Homo-oligomer: A and B are copies of this chain.
């Protein structure tokens, strides 16, 4: 008998409001679970801001590091490949380019993760677990596939694609 294939949706919404010089408060809802998280981003003194919360890119570094760690742990049990006090070191590198005084344009250079599973399992098993974690990591899969974010702008005549 063929194995059953299950497809499931994961949807998050965010409602963002500017609440300080560079601070944004974002109420995030995990629709699938009906859980809500009160989150915020800010910038530091370099941007003339107050540093009341982490900048978006610092949060993103935590997301990229934490996402694969979460999958490693979730799949470790399922695949019966034991891991211990896993350590992950991440490096995220972007560049910006600015012509004269124009707004700058940004691009990613490379993101790298060094992973120490602290496991006695054979290397081949550790690699199988890491491969599964990469494929199960929503963030790494999104980055790998690429995605153009859709935008709509509120105009005098209503919401328009932008």
Contact A58 B142 (CB under 8 A): no
CB within 8 Å of B: which residues of A? Answer: 3-18, 22, 24, 26, 28, 30, 33, 35, 37, 39-41, 43-44, 46-47, 54-67, 69-71, 73-75, 78-79, 85-117, 123, 126-127, 130, 132-156, 159, 162
Expressed in whole angstroms, the Cα–Cα distance for A90 and B94 within the complex equals 24
Q: In the assembly, how many copies of this chain are there?
A: 2
Contacts A7-B95, A7-B97, A108-B147 given; does A58 touch B30 at CB 8 Å: yes
**Other-chain contact of A110, B15, B62, B135, B150 (Cβ < 8 Å):** B150
Chain B residues whose CB sits within 8 angstroms of the CB of A44 once the complex forms:
33, 35
Expressed in whole angstroms, the Cα–Cα distance for A90 and B115 within the complex equals 32
Contacts A13-B90, A62-B28, A136-B103 given; does A113 touch B18 at CB 8 Å: no
Q: How far is the CB of A138 from chain B (nearest CB, A)?
A: 5
Q: How far is the CB of A147 from chain B (nearest CB, A)?
A: 5
Contacts A5-B97, A60-B60, A62-B28 given; does A90 touch B16 at CB 8 Å: yes
Contact A59 B73 (CB under 8 A): no
Contact A110 B56 (CB under 8 A): no
Q: How far is the CB of A66 from chain B (nearest CB, A)?
A: 3
